[in-house]
């Protein structure tokens, strides 16, 4: 598949019109083991209060495969919702209007999903998450200016690499 360029932003697009993937964030070699440990900690009543201050577990079902995924992910509280962001394929299983279950503060509960893939939405919400969680920013290669504002070019590159921003509203 050959990427084509758009005129206004010079972002490579694939044949489907979506941003062509570019590698910005990578999983760690031991990510599977780390995820299993974190999922266990988030289920443990007292430990989840400490570990769960920045982490939730998202329970998603594969849109094509029907496979069940359990993903621990960092979140940011914003305007009464939880924001998560990912450049990875599992994020495509979270679709606007299709609720998912999450484990927040040790309790499993449903949450409404608002998935953003548009440039403006991803850049805005990734900026909010980067300001709140510098580990998230580092993982997604988002730098900051001297005033502590996320670099707009880095936010744009995250979107161009296929990042999605998801707003979860627990019920």
The answer to whether residue 9 sits within a structural domain is no
Q: Phi, psi at residue 50, to the nearest 5°?
A: -85, -55
12 close to 160: Cβ distance less than 8 angstroms:
yes
The answer to whether residue 19 sits within a structural domain is no
> pLDDT for 25-60, tens place per residue?
555 565 667 667 666 666 666 666 665 578 889 999
Model confidence, pTM: 0.74
For 157, the 3-state DSSP assignment is helix
CATH of the domain at 49: 2.30.110.10
> pLDDT for 149-161, tens place per residue?
999 999 999 999 9
**Token pair listed for 165:** 């921003």
Please identify which residue in the block is written with the tokens 């993903």.
71
For 130, the 3-state DSSP assignment is helix
Percent of the chain with pLDDT over 90: 56
Range of the domain at 141: 26-170
Cβ density class 112-134: b for 16+ within 10 Å, e for less: ebbbbbeeebbbebbbbbbbbbe
What pLDDT was estimated at residue 23?
47
């Amino acid at each position: 598949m050959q990427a084509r360029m758009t005129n206004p932003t010079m972002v490579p697009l694939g044949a489907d019109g979506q941003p062509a993937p570019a590698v910005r964030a990578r999983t760690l070699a031991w990510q599977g083991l780390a995820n299993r440990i974190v999922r266990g900690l988030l289920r443990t009543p007292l430990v989840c209060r400490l570990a769960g201050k920045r982490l939730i577990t998202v329970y998603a079902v594969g849109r094509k495969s029907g496979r069940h995924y359990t993903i621990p992910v960092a979140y940011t509280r914003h305007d009464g919702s939880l924001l998560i962001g990912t450049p990875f394929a599992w994020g495509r299983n979270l679709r606007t209007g299709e609720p998912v279950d999450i484990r927040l503060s040790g309790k499993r509960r449903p949450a409404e999903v608002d998935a953003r893939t548009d440039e403006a939405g991803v850049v805005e919400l990734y900026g909010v998450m980067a300001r709140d969680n510098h580990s998230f920013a580092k993982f997604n290669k988002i730098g900051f200016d001297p005033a502590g504002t996320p670099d707009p070019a880095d936010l744009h590159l995250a979107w161009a690499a296929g990042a999605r921003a998801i707003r979860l509203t627990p019920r």
